[in-house]
Chains A and B, each alone.
Chain A
């Protein structure tokens, strides 16, 4: 893995994501949305009914996370990534709407990778299990949709130097495949 260290500010326009390659360490600044299983199901059901989504996804990043509750004085509780493949079947319609980044952990299905290439998007991994550490880079958190879902509600987070690695870039290069091969015996 011979990636570069890069800093990006959201929104993640199609122009900006062209410069992000699998292996790059990226520090994100700006606004990102949270969303995991239940929120994705609602977003897709909303689209199926022909209704408008509660958030505009164009050039946005969704972070697959269900944070722990904040202690008094905290902005957010521990907030590491959840496993991404569970969102695979619910991702293509969001890519079509212009979603340009996803943050999670673990493999993605072929149809998602093809969609990322077609519509232009990158998949970042945050360190799974490092929820206490990651929470430090989240500076604001506000529920913007589906409050009744509790930890699964959609939040708008303001982040600073939020650390991620580009695992699958918009050309389909996949770090999980290439790096594993390197260390296989």
Chain B
């Protein structure tokens, strides 16, 4: 990779899967081949040394994109270059330039110790034995696994397994890291520690491309974010610029009692309301949350409450907040990231 070259360049990347419909035990669906467009002609560039995030809901195409970049999946069309190497024609060179951690904690051998896992992968990366020993010790220390390096991985916590997977990816000191949902399944403390590690890697000059569906994580970590939905990039900018893109808008968050049948449409019809997203509340109290993006909360809050009451609901909680990346997503797609 030369000085001026982008770490990752993606042009018109597309992946289409053929899927056959299945019907029960005995009946086989004939002639019902469906095509699923997982990634639909995306373009983006990741600059050297930046943390770049692909943000989107589950099934948006983030993991498919990562898998094409790390050569585990061949693109249907379009091109992608990693460290200047084409992911199809120069797959081996791409794999030499990359450290990849895919989702979950299953990418390491549970019946080996942490150290044995790293020793095995060091051999696959053809790191000379003495150098590998030093590198493994350094990574175990750095990722706080040294104390339990000689225990079987099956005894590790989820956070430790994820750190071991990161250590595996860092073994060959790659200039570029691909992290697919790196904090999924981790407790808050473990997730915080991992985010700090990612910051440290950036400080060392590494380029990080990560996927996440956690807005706060993307906001905190990423220099730039591509918001991806249904295989397409619908926005790409820094988190601050994306939020500023909402203009002087504000978000009214309401928690109401009961099912909001038709209420969303009634609110959308109000003047000054730009978009509304509805989702069940996570507190299990039979309430629903509404996020209303408005250009003027002072003037629209009265009509909003009136509409809620007119629909026979009671407002349990209300707050006016500054926009987040989730609000950007709602504004762009009309739905919540968690839908």
Do these two chains interact?
no
Instruction: Point out residues on A near B: beta carbons under 8 Å.
Output: none
